[in-house]
Structure 1
Amino acid sequence: MKFGRWLSAKRYSASTIDTYKQALRIFLVYYRNKEVSALTNTDVLDFNNDYILKKNLSASYQNQVTNAIKLYFRTVLDTQIETDKIDRPKKPKILPNVLSKEEVKNILEALYNIKHKTMLCLIYSCGLRRSELLDLKPEDIDSQRNVVLIRQSKGRKDRITPLSAKVLELLRQYYKAYRPQTWLFEGQRSGEQYSEQSLQRVLKLALEKAKVTKPVTLHWLRHSYATHLLESGTDLRYFQELLGHSSSRTTEIYTHVSMKSLQQIKSPFDDL
């Protein structure tokens, strides 16, 4: 598919390419009885109303489809679609899910397997995304400078994040026990990258042992890291770099879930 090759040439990640190809395929299949060259902006609008909204699909999914359509029709010369007039859906403002420090501690201490424990501790202590943890290589841990180098993460950006001394000690114990070769965390076979499914199972096991009933995901650990940093007094200006956000507006959402400022507000009810 030429669209996939075009995205690849633009250096989009493999997961983004797959997402956009699948989203575009659904749109084109919906209009399979109509020539691509005959599609118009009205067809895009009808698709959003008659397919996405009727199926009660999320705004996030609608945004993915919109992005795919806009990118695809920029590469198609013979078309009636005006991509600059296709609007993206309004995003709902959803606060990130955050765990208390006590809850995080209970989850992390529930694991005794050094490999499993180190993975989850590294996610929380560095605010990593799932893919960022799995893509780490042994050389990305700089024990001399106490930092972790995260290469080509979301948005094709490199960044560094501080490495906790306690986590560094865990990493040393883990490395001595497992001696990873290619990836920092490998599967059952040497050189095989640890899978996302296995990492999800590690979290599920930790939640069961810690008797946590909340629907916690790996991303909750990243959200909790950011919120706890803010509550401990870290300047918001550093957050964008630490978390690898493209926009400061994404980072600022953590001010809405931080308890530090909220706890200083006195309810007028107390004065009644």
Structure 2
Amino acid sequence: MARIFITGSADGLGQLAAKALLREGHQVVLHARNRERGVQALNKLPGAEDVLIADLSSMEETKALAFEANALGVFDAVIHNAGVYQVPKNSKGTEGLPLLFTVNSIAPYILTCLLQKPKRLIYLSSGMHLQGDSSLKNLPVGTHMGNSHVSYADTKLHDVILAMAVARKWKDVYANAIDPGWVPTKMGGAGAPDNLEKGFETQVWLAVSNDPGARVSGQYFHHKRQAHYLPAANDITIQEKFFALCEQITGVRFDDEQIFV
């Protein structure tokens, strides 16, 4: 039996992944944006160990979430599922950064840095990351802090960069990114063409399976198969630039030598 923490698990793919893991007998800690959604999540998944509350559009709440999660003990796997897609133009997070960037890029970076190191890390990306800008020139730092134009594709590329960098730096962890496909969730819309079950089975498999195919690191998966991803995500210079910019923005440093507890 494994313990898994899933961000953004009040609905959508996160909730479906949690349900599947609970059905298999694993322990799951949920996460919701606010207290109301947290209560609803526990009502839908009464077997869950707990639900933690944090709005990932706030860097400070994300940092607090990491400490609350650590108080529950180390997890075997963390699924970085939370994300936003279609948001009003110029939407900002609490600290004034672009909302897409704060939730999709910065939150998983902060949590990766501050959570006790798990055995497995899964980052939800998207096939749209292939259209992301690997130059990182649009990241909201310096004079771009308040008016950066970071796209959804950019943020999903950031998630792949993060996964590949973590896989390189933490050799004792399985860190991978996935494309769940375009599935009919609230985010994907009712007309999405992909199979809903295939949208969550890969992250469940990577989180707990002893299948040799799941016990790998530094890969990008689509429907349990390794898939093509932007080669720039493996560029160490790009990885280090992304980490340095995230540290500058958040004040949180990634520890290459974090000890597994």
Same fold (TM over 0.5): no
Structure number with higher helix proportion: 1
Of Structure 1 and Structure 2, the greater strand share is in 2
What's the TM-score, normalizing by structure 2? 0.26
After TM superposition, the score normalised by the length of structure 1 is 0.26
